[in-house]
Amino acid sequence: MGNTGAVAMVALSHAAYSFDAEYSYLVPEKFRQKLRAGMRVFVSFGRGNNRVIGLVTRLCDDDGSGRKLKPILAVVDSECLVTDEILKIIFWLKENTFCTYYDAFRTAVPTGFSYKADLHYALVNTFIRKERLSPEEAEIIDFLEITEDQQEIDKFLDIKAFPARKKPLDMLIDKGFVEETQSFKRKVGDESVKMAALAEGYEDAELTPKQKKVVELLEECGAASVKELCYMTGCTATIIKRLCGKNAVRVYDQEVMRDTLGVITERESPDDITLNQEQTAAFDGIMALIRAGKPAGA
């Protein structure tokens, strides 16, 4: 019997619709405890072993057939970004619309969670007999031996800029002379919100009636976002700025961590939802179109 969760089915981020499918990858032992369906991984694809990010759609047992699978290189996410229900929606979108698995995943997850993968290379601490290397391989080894700046190394081994270096670099990695590591950077950082709070000694400031409304609200709640203050008091951001100038209020940035799932509460039963007459008519009409199984517009 095979190992549980030893094989992951992965949909690739760069796949065109014509070759979009679930591809089998070996899950290394170090990833088996944390890897779940709905997480993204870093894999190599095709004969050129191009590095791409993919979405784990399912985890399977090793069937014991002995087939040779490429291993997952790294796990991008520390936790799942989608629930089981959203994962089912992703499969439904793939089957019923002209999109790829990863396109459907992008639809379900905020754009702020897109990642850019960077590859870094370093020499492995081992003896290298350069006379057994090709000229291209020796050139890479020589450069790594004399260069300490990682940015210079990354620029020299940029495969997109210098595609001819890909094959000798892959050979050096396979021989164990060069080590490849990955780093993942969010394309969009966490959001920040401008917050306002009372400054020390605010009682001594001379305030206009509108400014007093802001101060009274902050006395009651302690702190609030500038946007909330403007909404609750009917003032403008200019008034907040003038309060800062009088040393009555201080404004600061507060980071708001992005969360794809939010707070998951207990799911309500559809039977507990009560519709009015117009909603019932609309619901019945939409369900009739769905059951008909034909293209139609509501």
pLDDT bracket for residue 56 (50, 70, 90): very high
Give the position of tokens 């784990």: 56
Q: pLDDT tens, 98-126?
A: 899 999 998 888 777 777 788 899 998 88
How high does pLDDT run on average in the chain? 86
Q: Which tokens in the block code for residue 217?
A: 């609200």
Token readout for 1 is 């019997």
Strand order in the sheet with 191-198: 223-225, 191-198, 249-256
Are the beta carbons of 201 and 173 closer than 8 angstroms? no
- Residues 236-285 pLDDT 10s: 989 999 999 999 999 998 866 555 555 556 666 777 788 899 999 998 99
Residue 2 has pLDDT above 50, yes or no: no
Over residues 90-105, the mean pLDDT reads 91
Burial class, 75, CB count within 10 angstroms (exposed 0-12 / middle 13-18 / buried 19+): buried
Say how far apart CA 21 and CA 25 lie, in whole Å: 13
Q: What is the CA radius of gyration of the chain?
A: 28
pTM above 0.95, yes or no: no
Strand-pair category, 249-256 with 223-225? unpaired
Greatest CA separation for the chain: 84
Rounded distance, CA 224 to CA 246, Å? 19
Cα gap 127→145, rounded to integer Å: 12
Q: What is the pLDDT confidence band of residue 58, given thresholds at 50, 70 and 90?
A: very high
For residue 267, the model assigns a pLDDT of 66
* pLDDT digit string, tens, across residues 73-82: 999 988 888 8
CA distances (Å), origin 180, targets 41, 123, 170, 172, 177? 16, 9, 10, 10, 10
Provide the pLDDT for residue 31.
92
158-184: pLDDT as tens digits: 888 898 999 999 899 888 999 988 887
CA distance 64 to 61: 9
pLDDT confidence tier of residue 142, bands split at 50, 70 and 90: very high
Paired sense of beta strands 7-12 and 23-26, if any: antiparallel
Torsion, CA 44, CA 47, CA 48, CA 52, rounded to 10? -30
What pLDDT sits at residue 1?
39
